[in-house]
Homo-oligomer: A and B are copies of this chain.
Amino acid sequence: MKPVKYLLPDTHIPHAWYNLQADFPTPLPPMVHPGTGQPITPDMLEPLFGRELIKQEFSTERWIEIPEEVRQIFAQWRCTPLYRARRLEQALDTPAKIFYKYEGVSPSGSHKTNSAIPQAYYNMIQGVKKISTETGAGQWGSALSMACSQFGLECLVYMVKVSYNQKPYRRALMETFGANVIPSPSDTTDAGRALLESNPDSTGSLGMAISEAVEVAVKNEDTKYCLGSVLNHVALHQTVIGLECITQMELADVYPDVVVGCCGGGSNFAGIAFPFIGRMLQGKEKVRAVGVEPAACPTLTKGRHAYDFGDTSHFTPLMKMFTLGSTFVPPGFHAGGLRYHGMSPMVSHVQDLGLMESISFHQLETFAAGVQFAKAEGIMPAPESTHAIAGAVKEALRCKEEGKSETILFNLSGHGHFDMQAYIDYHAGKLKNYAYPEAEIAMALAGLPPVNH
């Protein structure tokens, strides 16, 4: 039999996260306060986040130990499998070797659990009783609900009202894990009540949901807030993906020429790519890292590297990142997890340093790649992950053209079981591509905060 999957025993779950900050040739630009323009200090974040997580946010240590309690929960599904996509290679008739890391085996169906578990854990040992968060597409809310159920924490999820109504399956998953899911805007916070007063029919937005979740954390001693992407500590937690890949590719006796991941907030790309980029910075193997994003929300490919707010309501500190402007609202394409105006500051720094490339695809191309992948490999990819597939397919077809048998590794960050409406629309010919929103982006970029001027 030809090997198609590479498994590792529990003993190979990484003992430490890898922090790319330790190997950056120039340091990461700090978060700054929008009022003073001065760097944010750890104590300023204490009302919001757990202490250990704030420490990680600022850390430049290369390795940060993963607590045994976290590894014990990870053991339920980690190490996740690394697959050789032999049937996809055959379908593409490419000399390239295609590998993919499958994060969809996690309890919430995506990589999000990698950060949800340690975030819940660190808050629990600090004595926090309740976690508040927001969720749009529902991946992060599901992961955090599951994490909280493991550590006996209450979990309060503000879910964008339109998603709350359109995605009852995601909501039921969170409720099964014991979370309290509230459609946002709601009457449970001052922010929500103000929003409802000005517009009782509001269907909500991620920015509004963040405001509600943050308010609850700030106003309640026993409550902290958690975020599922963008931040340094989230990128850090996701490095278990790439670290496992390094060992698994040794088993397969190959090393990737190119590593591909989709980019929304940046966490799953960081997770698979940072450990490889780190080795390159340490003088080890060279690798190309490719971030793939939707053409309708082209942060890395068309955005500006500038200080901007993380949210639309301008409650967050300023972060230096590739951004389309915090007031940019992406069109309604189906990969909800990639509909973000900004990008992880660490991923942005990596691109700024020339350590990665980025490309974009329209959604009809990514769904076509996703369906081809599902037929060949038997796994339904999440709409977000179809972007990584499209990127890998493009590389494989280049290899075919050039007659090269390169090794391609991509991150299949999640399954699409809760996103089948997208496939229904795709099969019915109802999906369309969106034109590049040039004018909207220009307008949003014109409103960047003054610290950039």
Show the binding face of A for B, using Cβ within 8 Å: 1-5, 7, 9-11, 68, 71-72, 75-77, 83, 87, 105, 107, 109, 146, 149-150, 168-169, 171-173, 175-178, 371, 374-380, 415, 417-418, 420-421, 423-424, 427
Contact = CB atoms under 8 A, between A and B. Distances in A.
A11 B2 CA distance: 10
Contacts of A178: 375
Given A173-B380, A377-B76, A378-B150, A3 B10 contact: yes
Most chain B beta-carbon contacts within 10 A, residue among A83, A378, A415? A378
A71 B1 contact: yes
Nearest to A376: B149
Given A1-B68, A1-B71, 14 more contacts: A2-B72, A4-B10, A4-B76, A5-B10, A7-B7, A76-B378, A87-B150, A149-B376, A150-B378, A168-B420, A168-B421, A169-B417, A175-B427, A177-B374
Contacts of A415: 417
Given A149-B375, A176-B371, A374-B176, A169 B7 contact: no
16 contacts: A1-B10, A1-B11, A1-B68, A1-B75, A4-B72, A76-B377, A77-B378, A87-B150, A149-B376, A169-B421, A172-B420, A173-B420, A176-B371, A176-B380, A415-B417, A417-B418
Query: Can you tell how many copies of this chain the complex includes?
Result: 2
Contact of A5 (B75, B377, B418, B424): B75
Given A1-B10, A10-B3, A379 B168 contact: no
Q: Which 4 A-B pairs have the closest CB atoms?
A: A107-B378, A417-B417, A169-B420, A172-B423
A11 B427 CA distance: 38
Given A375-B149, A417-B109, A168 B424 contact: yes
Contacts of A11: 1
